[in-house]
Chain A
């Protein structure tokens, strides 16, 4: 089927730790992939995206690489801050329409 699977949260880390949030997808082709972030009490913000295989999206110190071999788009950051505490959503573009298919979201908690 068409789905997006994210690692279950919450993920709790100390400040300056290395972050990885796993995201894998199923698809018949090579859809565009996205990471969105939702800070407490706010809407979703586009964090980064990748529109073709091996493409790397990056923003605010976060990176994710489109890996078609492993159908993955893991989110990474070298040194997290307390202000990165939020819920992170992985999504892929639909095949027959442009609607996004969403992961369940991963809550990230960064402790000082």
Chain B
């Protein structure tokens, strides 16, 4: 199966602009999560979508939004970009599977990321 793909891989924007990033999950995966990774803050969870609905949300301002389409592809949008939004944005798709202990396990598989630079 093809892995998670993210487009574009690199992006340069200026302050005040908006940006849209795209993520195509592994075929059959219905959940997509987004993360922001910066050297100072590490890996921070943005939001998760499942079956076109936002299922979980991290602590980011409303400038960060997302959506998921019926084919499970997801987009995230950042409006009014700030210098601090420069980061690697990672997308992960996942599938719920039975675990050995009888519960359910959701394993996340990551894409290569989109590196955003805000000038």
Contacts and interface: CB of A to CB of B under 8 A. Distances in A.
Given A43-B111, A99-B33, 7 more contacts: A34-B107, A44-B90, A46-B109, A49-B105, A51-B101, A102-B45, A104-B42
A97 B104 CA distance: 11
Interface of A is mostly: loop
A45 B56 contact: no
Interface residues of B, number: 28
Contacts, number: 56
Nearest to B96: A98
A55 interface: yes
B75 interface: no
Contacts of B108: 46, 100
A89 B43 contact: yes
B41 to A, nearest CB: 10
Interface in A37-69: 42-46, 49, 51-53, 55
B5 to A, nearest CB: 11
